[in-house]
Amino acid sequence: MTAAKDISLSRDAVADPDVREANARADKAPAADPAEKASLARKPAHTQAAGRSTAHESARAQVAGAATYVDDIPEVRGTLHAAPILSTVAHGKLLGVDITAALAMPGVRDVILARDIPGDAVLGNFSHDEPVFAQDTVQHIGQVIGVVVADTVMQARAAARKVVCKIEPLPAVLTVQDALKAQSYVLPPVFVKRGDAAAALKKAAHTLHGTLEVGGQEHFYLEGQVAYVVPQEQQQWLVYSSTQHPGEIQHWVSHALGIANHAVRVECRRMGGGFGGKETQSGQMAVWAAIAAHKLKCAVKLRMDRDDDFMVTGKRHPFAYEYDVGFDNTGLLTGLKITMAVNCGFSADLSGPVADRAVFHADNAYFLEDVEIASYRCKTNMQSNTAFRGFGGPQGMIVIEAIMGDIARTLGLDALDVRKRNLYGIGERDVTHYQMKVEDNILDPLLSKLERTAQYRSRREAISAWNEGSPVIKRGIALTPVKFGISFTATLFNQAGALVHVYTDGSVQVNHGGTEMGQGLNTKVAQIVADELGVPFAQVLATASDTSKVPNASATAASAGTDLNARAAQYAARNVRDNLAQFVAGLDRCGAGAVRFVCGDNGGEVITPEGTRPFTEVVKLAYANRIQLWSDGFYRTPKIHYDKTTLTGRPFYYFAYGAACTEVAIDTLTGESRVLKVDILHDVGTSINPAIDIGQIEGGFIQGMGWLTTEQLVWNDKGLLTTHAPSTYKIPATGDVPEHFKVDLWPEPNREDNVFGSKAVGEPPLMLAISVYEAMRDAVGSVVPPGECVVLEAPATAEHVLRSVGSHSLPT
């Protein structure tokens, strides 16, 4: 989720009553008339495409190596290749750039620097704080100073390393602690308060003070960052980009070239993974390639080397926390103060909304009555951190889950009982600290069901017995919940458009503003469109994201890709269906509501009281009678509003819920660990595609497990990222997946009017992996004196586990 730019227009703030009325009308989604509802109710369930585990639309092509990614697109004659010139200093004055040696290298055509930018030398993002190329100063090791352009990619990369940059070092800020001391921020601090936390802490029966540090995470998409820019006629440009946000690429490229948006067309058929890392930061690659293409008047491709990708691009934001919590004898939280220090890197990027979402999710599943949260958006001389699956939600949730674990250990209670004691209620204790009422709460029944099905209580007893008899290998277990808000917190991004074309042979093409990154968005959209028209799934083709088809599309992020784009596509298909229904009703002299579109054994059928026609025949007849067979669709998320100045309102349309029960083992002599068992119960509403949803849950959990166990980013005291390749940065492999890995879906539709009754599934499962971290702390707790809290830095690498065991171990 990923959410997008730190921009929010509160609709409550609109003064014009006519505009407010128009907004209110627009929030009411098009409703089916009674006849249409009856028609849909009569439609046999087995004919539906949605609700089935249909294979991913690109699966066969992908396993056959026939799916096209940006680097697979045939290159036009004369294409050149670019490679970045990187700063080797974390902070310094850029005194000069000597390109003599690079220009003498074989195949080199030119070196592109800031002086070659025809438009604005600052990227066209909302904060306007990041240069296209470094000019007077460099602000992190790996900042791009320019690009070398050569006949081949290897020639360009070799020559880039021959460029000599004269840099005078300046003091660098490399930790959030140093940033806090220097008051070095990319954005002003934010404070959210409800009740009187200070007074509540004073009168609390028990209090705890604690700190926690949680590291970042490299996206490690299989397909690296890549852009291919091809000049077109009359100063127009075609950009192929591996991006989650083609519209932003269009804006950034036109901004850098000093031309209008309409002169830039951006296309993305698919990405080989994104995870938030291609929401904004794919834009730099496209801009650099476009500037080179503009100067040299030819096509230019920029494909990042994996090591350079690590050095240049931002990561998940590392967080440091300090907290004071008050609670009673039952574990009920009575007062809380949290300070969050966010390592944003050298520019704002998406740090504002990421930090905001962390504040929003500092409650996770728990009611916080008297609470103060301070969020500091720290500027450091590191890569500019960016969106990553969960978009601040994981960093908000992990601190409150750690606090729940600390309370349980202090009181000698089971951590699950403390968690259940603090859950949001129904009809009471049901308003968040940002003033949104939790209307769809299923937390207690969901946790209770997983507690039973995962046999949590009996396993807890068995683990205690194991630990009594095992001096070296210790086990731990934790069951943790997730409550994740779905919508962009920047209200204006909660909109989508789509086009549906029905051709005269009855085949259907759908195009929408979302992007496919392996998550199955195009598959789900095609399933929804197939059902709306009553045709087989195989008859619908979803095509590449293209800014010349659907303009101004939001990023595919915030877990809202299906919610927004499938609904827009459904409305477009519905418009075509209504055109056909009116036409057929005229032929058969019946009401349009009596016309049904059903996928039968022989394909699409159009049924009226007078008889049945094949869908293909109806389409041909409609075309012959000049009936419109294509339409657009537009959707805007209803109900949401959000005041950026106070961080209050209803930023989310609904919540997605889930819980995971995880069992782990640690070796107290080496710090090594293994995840033994995982049981998940997750809420996806009525699933559009259960196989894809379960795949997202499994993948999200494993990615979250990597964040909290093995994926450690290490910078040295000069600001150099030393873990910049697979040799030094470990993502989970197949051997890390537990043999017992069980995923069940919660059997209830979305209580809000969402497409097919579904819920978002992209990001929420990642936070289920917090159960791994808490189970690791539980295992360490078996060697800790009773009542003492477990301090374990995340990720819980072998080194960190061993350090935690050593600092807490009971005396022999």
> What is the residue-wise DSSP string for 89-137?
SSSEEEEEEE-HHHHTSTTEEEEE-GGG-SS-SB--STT---BSS--SE
Ramachandran region, residue 407 (left: φ > 0; alpha: ψ -120 to 50; beta: rest): alpha
Average pLDDT, the chain: 94
The residue type of 318 is P
**Three-class DSSP category at 576:** helix
Pair type for strands 740-745 and 673-682? parallel
Structure tokens at 280: 């904004």
Averaged pLDDT for residues 362-379: 98
Residue 644's pLDDT band, with cuts at 50, 70 and 90, is confident
Question: Which residues have C-beta within 8 Å of that of residue 270, sequence separation ≥ 6?
Answer: 58, 67, 68, 69, 515, 516, 517, 518, 544
pLDDT of residue 39: 40
Rounded CA-CA distance 168/172 in Å is: 12
The catalytically annotated residue of 75, 763, 793, 799 is 763
Averaged pLDDT for residues 81-98: 98
pTM: 0.93
Residue 37's pLDDT band, with cuts at 50, 70 and 90, is very low
Rounded CA-CA distance 202/211 in Å is: 19
Respond yes or no on whether the N-terminal peptide bond of residue 795 is cis (omega within 30° of 0).
Answer: yes
Rounded CA-CA distance 553/575 in Å is: 20
Yes or no: say if 404 and 410 are a contact pair by the CB < 8 Å rule.
Answer: no
Rounded CA-CA distance 28/669 in Å is: 61
Rounded CA-CA distance 633/497 in Å is: 6
Distance of CA 190 to the CA centre of its chain: 22
pLDDT of residue 28: 43
Yes or no: say if 176 and 320 are a contact pair by the CB < 8 Å rule.
Answer: yes
Averaged pLDDT for residues 321-345: 98
For residue 763, indicate whether it is catalytic.
Answer: yes
Rounded CA-CA distance 653/637 in Å is: 7
In this predicted model, what pLDDT tens digit does every residue of 555-569 receive, in sequence order? 999 999 999 999 999
* Sign of the alpha-carbon dihedral angle for 118, 120, 124, 130: positive
Rounded CA-CA distance 811/17 in Å is: 71
Rounded CA-CA distance 184/175 in Å is: 11
In this predicted model, what pLDDT tens digit does every residue of 182-232 receive, in sequence order? 999 999 999 999 999 999 999 999 999 999 999 999 999 999 999 999 999
Residue 809's pLDDT band, with cuts at 50, 70 and 90, is low
Rounded CA-CA distance 683/681 in Å is: 7
Nearest Cα residue to 179 out of 413, 368, 345, 303 = 345
Beta-bridge partners for 110: 149
pLDDT of residue 808: 64
Rounded CA-CA distance 88/750 in Å is: 51
Rounded CA-CA distance 714/318 in Å is: 11
Pair type for strands 508-512 and 495-502? antiparallel
Length of the chain: 812
Residue 46's pLDDT band, with cuts at 50, 70 and 90, is very low
Rounded CA-CA distance 673/792 in Å is: 13
Residue 645's pLDDT band, with cuts at 50, 70 and 90, is confident
Yes or no: say if 353 and 4 are a contact pair by the CB < 8 Å rule.
Answer: yes
